[in-house]
Amino acid sequence: MIRLVFAICIALLSVPATARIKIEEVVSPGGIKARFVNEPSIPFVSLAIGFRGGASLDPDGKVGVTSMMTALLEEGTGDLDARGFAEAAEALAAKFRFETRRDSIRITAEVLTENRDAALALLRRAIVEPAFTEDAISRVRARYLAGIEQNMQTPRYLAGQRMSELSYPGHAYSNPVDGTLASITALTRDDLVEMHRRAMSMDHLVVSAVGDITAEELGRLIDHLAEGLPGTGVPLPPDAEFAATGGVSVIEIPTPQSTAVWAHPGLSRDDPDFMAAFVMNHILGGGFGSRLMTELRVNRGLTYGVYSYFVYNTAHSVHLAGAVTSANGTVAEVMNVIRTEWDRMATEGVTEEELEIAKKNLTGSYALRFDGNTRIAGILQSMQIDNFPDNYVNIRNDLVRAVTVEDIRRVASEMLDTGALRFVVAGQPEGLVATDHGVSEK
């Protein structure tokens, strides 16, 4: 049967500062929506295929199953074993990447115009018909266990994992994306097959593409690519409530430097004050020129780097997080400076001058993200997975410009509470008293 190929351009969006990029929304003949940019100057296309859910769909007791399942997609399909699949991809000069995050599975493909159909037919076999042979499972399991062993000697991983447990107890967000030694060891082939069916379904699918391809060609390709995927998968997890309370946890590990991460309640991305909070954080801890970097690195030489950022788990559970490293002897002082800056922001807000610089930085640098097919495809994918509105790229800079010092003063005084700051410190910090009893090596 010949299927009529038609693609409708529903909306034409453009990034203001990058007027040459036109983001289109396309619906395939089969009804799959995609965001895409036609950019024919280089003969390849970057395709981003995402599935909402990701590691947050792992069932109880099978932590890491989505991640390991995704890793196995490139380890064989049909009569192709891992080597055969890799050789086929090499022969087509196609580049595939498979990644699992807390809230999504992300598959990216860079394929040449001249053999696009063949390359994506190969990718389809990996996505829709993975073999999950025992041999491949055994190899990937060994690789995962080695990776977990390495993570467990990394202060940043240990602190981050403890923070996840404190932030979202009982929720899937508290689990490590790549599993634990015990959970990975216990996974069976059935678990992986079952997770594939549950996680990679049409209702979780998100597609974006940038490059040398037309809307019609893309519509036809994504229908083919998704052919055979189940219609519905397991439902996405319920909204999570950020639950960490103020205090300090210490994970004792032998290392000359402590890594401190912190978390603090944020606000929903639907909140009318969200952009004010976002700009406020940029002034507080958004890289070089921010208050934390200036106070801790430039003025005191206490750290190589300090950052503060919003963590979007889903639109409704957003918290403010940060990370810093400092010598064991100085990390307590660093935490005091962070608390002082937190207080200062909560009580004084920001100056007109600071806000002006932050706005210029945020609006001026937005265009810098849109400078490559693969980067743009990734942004379009993230925006869909994180449920940003369709016209977000058009309005984002206006939202930033609309923030006032009064907005920031209000949101800072309402949101920031130094007493609610939770620190987790991994290392051998001196002069630091833990406020909980979780003082043990994990």
Partner 1 sequence: MGRFWAAFVVAVFLPPAALAETGRVSTFALPNGLQGVVIEDNRAPVVTHMLWYRAGAADEPVSKSGLAHFVEHLLFKGTRNLGPGAFDRIIRENGGQGNAFTSYDYTGYFQRVARDRLSLMMQLEADRMVNLVLDEEIVRIERDVVLEERTTRTDSDPGALLSEHRRAAQFMNHPYGLPIIGWRHEIEDLSLHDALDFYKTYYAPNNAILIVAGDVTPEEVKVLAEEYYGHLPRSETLPERVRPQEPPQISPRRLTYSDPRERQPYLVRSYLAPNRASGAQAGAAALTMLSYILGGTGVTSLLGEELQINRNTAVFSRAWYSGTSLDPDSFVIYAQPRPGVSLQELEDAIDAVIADLIANGFEAGKLDRLKARMRAEDIYKLDNHAGRARTYGRALTTGLTVEDVQSWPEILQAVTRKDIMAAAAKVFDINKSVTSWMVVDGWENSP
Binding to partner 1, residues 104-163 (CB under 8 A): 110, 112, 114-115, 118, 122, 139, 142-143, 145-146, 149-150, 152-153, 155
Determine, following the binding rule CB under 8 A, whether residue 186 of this chain makes contact with partner 1: no
Contact 219, 26 (CB under 8 A): yes
Nearer to partner 1, 47 or 240 (CB): 47
Q: Pick the closer one to partner 1 by CB: 91 or 395.
A: 91
If one asks whether residue 39 binds partner 1 (CB under 8 A), the answer comes out as yes
Our CB check for partner 1 shows the closer of 268 and 366 to be: 366
Among 257, 314, 317, 384, binds partner 1 (CB under 8 A): 257
Task: List the one residue out of 207, 233, 213, 53 whose CA is nearest residue 123.
Answer: 207
For residue 340, CA distances in Å to 92, 113, 261, 343, 421 come to 57, 55, 16, 5, 12
Q: What are phi and psi of 413, to 5 degrees?
A: -70, -30
Residues in region 191-210 near partner 1 by CB under 8 A: none
DSSP 326: E
Least separation in angstroms between residue 194's CB and partner 1 is 25
281-340 binders of partner 1 (CB under 8 A): 288-289, 294, 297-305, 325-327
Indicate the residue among 2 and 19 with the shorter CB distance to partner 1: 19
What torsion, rounded to 10 degrees, do the Cα atoms 169, 173, 178, 179 define? Answer: 30
Interacting residue with partner 1 among 46, 100, 108, 313 (CB under 8 A): 46
* Residues in a beta bridge with 23: 13
Residue 394: CB minimum distance to partner 1, A: 16
Task: Report in angstroms how near the CB of residue 365 gets to partner 1 at its nearest.
Answer: 4
CA distances from 241 to 45, 99, 264 (A): 39, 26, 12
**Which of 365, 355, 368, 335 is CA-nearest to residue 284?**
355
Report the site for partner 1 in 368-427 (rule: CB under 8 A): 368, 370-374
Q: The tokens 């970057």 sit on which residue?
A: 46
Total interface residues for partner 1 by CB under 8 A: 78
**Look-up: residue for tokens 């189940």?**
230
Q: Which of 36, 44, 168, 312 binds partner 1 (CB under 8 A)?
A: 44
Say if residues 275 and 401 touch (Cβ distance below 8 Å): no
Query: Which range, of 13-21, 28-36, 225-233, 402-410, touches partner 1 by CB under 8 A?
Result: 13-21
Residue 59 phi/psi, 5-degree rounding, is -70, 160
CB atoms within 10 A of CB 374: 19
Q: Candidates 80-88, 126-134, 201-209, 403-411: pick the segment binding partner 1 (CB under 8 A).
A: 80-88
